[in-house]
Amino acid sequence: MSMRKIGLLIAVLTGSFFSFAQQNIADARTFGIGSTVTITGIATNGGELGPIRYVQDATAGLACYGGPITGVSEGDSVTVTGPLIEFSGLLEISIVDNVVNHGQAIVQPTPLQIPITSAGESLESQLVQIENVTFVQSGNFSGNTTYQITDGTNQLDVRVNSGTNLVGTAIPTGPVTITGPLGQFNANYQIVPRSTNDIVAYVAPLYEINVLLDGATVLHTSDYFIGNTASLSVEIENSGTQDLIVSGASFTGPDAADFSSNIGTPTIAGGSSQTFTINYAPSNTGSHFATLEIASNDADENPYIINFEGVGTDNLATEPTANPTGLTFPTIEAYTLNGTYAAGTGANNYLVLWKTGSPITGVPQDGNTYLRGDIIGDAKVAYAGAGTTFTPRGVIANQDYHFAVYAFNGAAGFENYLTTSPATANVTSGGENIGNYYGSITAASPTLHTDLQALINPHTEVTYFLYKLTMMDQFEVRDTTGGQSYVECVYSGERYVFDDPFDWTATGYSREHTFAHSWMPTFPADQPEEPEYNDQHNLYPANLAEANSPRSNLPLGEIDGTVVDSYLEGATGYSGSQLVYEPRDSHKGNAARAIFYMVTCYGFPLTGVASADEQDQDLLKTWHFNDLPDNREIARHEFIYNQQGNRNPYIDSTDWACFVNFDDFSYDATNCNLSVEDQLQNSMVVYPVPANEKVYVQVNGTKITSYEVIDMQGRVVTSNNDANLDVVIFNTNEFSTGSYIVKVTTPLGEAQRKMIVE
């Protein structure tokens, strides 16, 4: 697994995260992406794996990356705080904010012995050990390379890090026992050995118990949901060389009387197994719990414990006693929301529904399993699981979102939902976060273009490689039904459905440079990567074969002649005698503003560079005004601002595009023949919308000489005829909840916008 990351991303990614206290690592793993969590556990690796530490306690494991975690040694007991992200499928705290090192733990974690088939999400980041496997490859180990091991039927990836002493040593040719933290890269789980001590020749134990239920291994101390299955096959394996002697099997727990088995006291020869039966006959309704204990002469798993949960005669789990309460939203941005609630009573799981515009009327039905993205009446599922926080995917700016949270118990079609009095709340996502970003910059100045350039460049650089972690995982990828996700091709409008995690190769998607890479005077700008190559304002996801490749480095235009190639809403064809690529209508304005931004940020004029010479700036300006920024583009813009720390001026003040000649990057006084009123209206900003503490009002490039705030009944609530301010600031406690119109007067004229107070 590649651990490559860039420190420039650290500060900007943590700005909107929120924090909760955890009881254990298993609890922390249920929190939403973006939550800041605090865990205490023992590090199972040191610096040999780079700036990552796998930390585990008695309940689970969690990877921790970067920052002060790099000073932690293997075996240290640590308390770690930082935001949760998902990096190529691996849940991790990144970048770590704080570490308290309690010193070497007295009791060190013991590797959990598992078969290859058990390597999965529930054991991610825990220290595991797999016996009696062989390497598929031969030769010597190389650094930062992935190999495979096999048990003869199944395979698992092994990631050899360049910092380990495995590099250059011979790959074993016989059976081995391999130990290491269990990582993940994209859809593949992988064991990550830390040194040559983690790969040793396999020595068969004297006796080793393994238990399979209906053909699948169930690890020692695991939970098993039996549902309403009346009879279950139980296979006891002995992978040792001598007899495994089972001295008894019994059920304990509140509903032990409803479970029975014929396991008895068998003797199982080395390398063989015997099959038995578990019977389940519930005596009443609701959830039933019992623990199976199998005693044997396998000392390290004696007794072998499996915790069973079944449902009663009504084929449903026990209904929770009370739904969660106190639904609040610690983080509200234009591009994300984080919700949290107090746990319900007698509940193990929660279902969060959401919709836009009005309260939710949809209600979950007992016995149905709902996954993220599923439709329930008039709402969609934002989250289903044991956690008490959630982060819905697909949030856009200036939307009124309504939520309802239901408690439930059970799984696999036996769910029982408490459908009365769910926790409900609504919240409006943020809007443009401009503030006083542009200061005194004005379109009336002949240095507008260079003033904007100095403002937006330099900025924080986020690498091309990290675009998946940032833009894709945290914004572009959205939910569809059945727990699947989709990504949208900006050029063609295709919505490609896939199973998480997102992967460029598996989906056939790419990062498309709107201002083509070959147009850049620094081309090739990826050897090494330059800021202009990486800039997220210019990068969009696109189907590689059907949109990105056909577009290539063609100018964007409108086809009025022969169509050469098309895919859905995007096409290549001729505009007059010029071959162009025409994106779908809803992306034309976005594409124009990306090109305007690149010319301004890096001083790359459209003339003088190969195909860029053929790009028609007048057409781009037409697209720009015909397809003004919508709420999704605003949300994307704010997300990139959070990462890169710079803004696209042509999204914030759309008329500024009229004052720049993008062909030679100079000032253009013709200003598209916009009226003064249009210019002022486009430059006026009211932030945030809605507001719950302060409201900021400004008109970019000029002062506000007077203002008045008018309610929806036409009454003047407050005014000032002698303001002369760059920014007017209102405290929301001066107003009642509701909508208002803010009218301002400037030396250039008047403008007005809506203000909403929560």
Looking at the fold, whether 251 and 269 belong to one and the same domain comes out as yes
Q: Where among 674, 697, 718 does a domain terminate?
A: 674
Q: Using DSSP, how many helices (H) and how many strands (E) does the chain show?
A: 11, 50
Q: pLDDT digits over 496-537, tens only?
A: 999 988 999 999 999 999 999 999 999 999 989 999 999 999
- Amino acid in the structure at residue 372: R
Looking at the fold, whether 231 and 274 belong to one and the same domain comes out as yes
- Amino acid in the structure at residue 689: V
CA pair distance 673, 245, nearest whole angstrom: 92
Q: Which residues pair with 667 in a beta bridge?
A: 660
User: In this model, does residue 203 exceed pLDDT 90?
Assistant: yes
Q: pLDDT digits over 609-651, tens only?
A: 666 788 999 999 999 998 999 999 999 999 999 999 999 999 9
Looking at the fold, whether 87 and 168 belong to one and the same domain comes out as no
Looking at the fold, whether 31 and 170 belong to one and the same domain comes out as no
- The residue among 63, 45, 51 whose CA lies nearest residue 121 is 63
Residue 268, both tokens: 């199982």
User: In this model, does residue 7 exceed pLDDT 80?
Assistant: no
Task: Lowest mean pLDDT of 15-29, 57-71, 359-373, 466-480, name the range.
Answer: 15-29
Task: Lowest mean pLDDT of 351-355, 491-495, 589-593, 677-681, name the range.
Answer: 677-681
Residue ranges of the alpha helices (H) in 603-630? 617-626
Burial of 140 (0-12, 13-18, 19+ CB in 10 A): exposed
Beta strands 389-390 and 337-342, pairing class: antiparallel
421 found inside a domain: yes
374: Cβ contacts below 8 Å, ≥ 6 apart: 380, 381, 481, 482, 483
User: In this model, does residue 19 exceed pLDDT 70?
Assistant: no
318 found inside a domain: no
CATH of the domain at 269: 2.60.40.10
pLDDT category of residue 673 using cuts at 50, 70 and 90: low
State the pLDDT at residue 42: 98
State the pLDDT at residue 323: 98
Mean pLDDT score, 377-393: 94
User: In this model, does residue 445 exceed pLDDT 80?
Assistant: yes
CB 526 within 8 A of CB 454: no
State the pLDDT at residue 47: 97
Phi, psi of 731 (to 5 degrees): -90, 130
User: In this model, does residue 294 exceed pLDDT 90?
Assistant: yes
Beta strands 35-43 and 18-19, pairing class: parallel
Residue 453, both tokens: 């350039």
Q: CA distances (Å), 740 to each of 366, 372, 520, in order?
A: 44, 37, 46
Looking at the fold, whether 97 and 126 belong to one and the same domain comes out as no
State the pLDDT at residue 676: 65
Q: Where among 159, 176, 201 does a domain terminate?
A: 201
Q: CA distances (Å), 526 to each of 355, 601, 610, in order?
A: 42, 18, 18
User: What rounded mean pLDDT belongs to the chain?
Assistant: 92
State the pLDDT at residue 757: 86
Residue 11 sits in which domain range?
Answer: 7-104
410 found inside a domain: yes
Mean pLDDT score, 360-370: 97
- The residue among 329, 630, 336 whose CA lies nearest residue 476 is 336
Query: With b meaning 16 or more CB within 10 Å and e meaning fewer, what string describes 332-351?
Result: bbbbbbbbbbebbeebbbbb
State the pLDDT at residue 23: 67
State the Rg of the chain over Cα: 30
- The residue among 34, 30, 123 whose CA lies nearest residue 350 is 30
Angle 575-579-581 from CA coordinates, rounded to 5°: 85
Looking at the fold, whether 297 and 353 belong to one and the same domain comes out as no
User: What spatial distance separates the first Cα and last Cα of the chain, rounded to whole Å?
Assistant: 46
718 found inside a domain: yes
Looking at the fold, whether 20 and 61 belong to one and the same domain comes out as yes
Q: pLDDT digits over 98-155, tens only?
A: 999 999 999 999 999 999 999 999 999 999 999 999 999 999 999 999 999 999 999 9
Residue corresponding to tokens 């790969």 = 199
CB 191 within 8 A of CB 178: yes
Looking at the fold, whether 214 and 187 belong to one and the same domain comes out as no
Mean pLDDT score, 245-263: 97
State the pLDDT at residue 710: 93
The per-residue DSSP string of 353-411 comes to EEEESS-------TT----TT-EETTEEEEEEES-SEE--S---TT-EEEEEEEEEE--
Percent of the chain with pLDDT over 90: 82
CB 702 within 8 A of CB 747: yes
Q: Which residues pair with 279 in a beta bridge?
A: 231, 260
Higher model confidence: residue 492 or residue 672?
492
Looking at the fold, whether 516 and 555 belong to one and the same domain comes out as yes
316 found inside a domain: no
CB 236 within 8 A of CB 263: yes
CA pair distance 34, 86, nearest whole angstrom: 9
Q: CA distances (Å), 625 to each of 44, 444, 559, 590, 597, in order?
A: 56, 20, 19, 10, 15
35 found inside a domain: yes
Residue corresponding to tokens 């919709």 = 355
Q: Where among 163, 181, 201 does a domain terminate?
A: 201
Is the Cα dihedral 7, 13, 15, 19 positive or negative?
Answer: negative
CATH of the domain at 193: 2.40.50.140
The domain tally of the chain equals 6
Residue 481, both tokens: 């039904």
Mean pLDDT score, 458-480: 94
Tell me the whole-structure pTM to 2 decimals: 0.84
pLDDT category of residue 62 using cuts at 50, 70 and 90: very high
Looking at the fold, whether 123 and 220 belong to one and the same domain comes out as no
Q: pLDDT digits over 386-420, tens only?
A: 999 999 999 999 999 999 999 999 999 999 999 99
23: Cβ contacts below 8 Å, ≥ 6 apart: none
CA pair distance 318, 415, nearest whole angstrom: 9
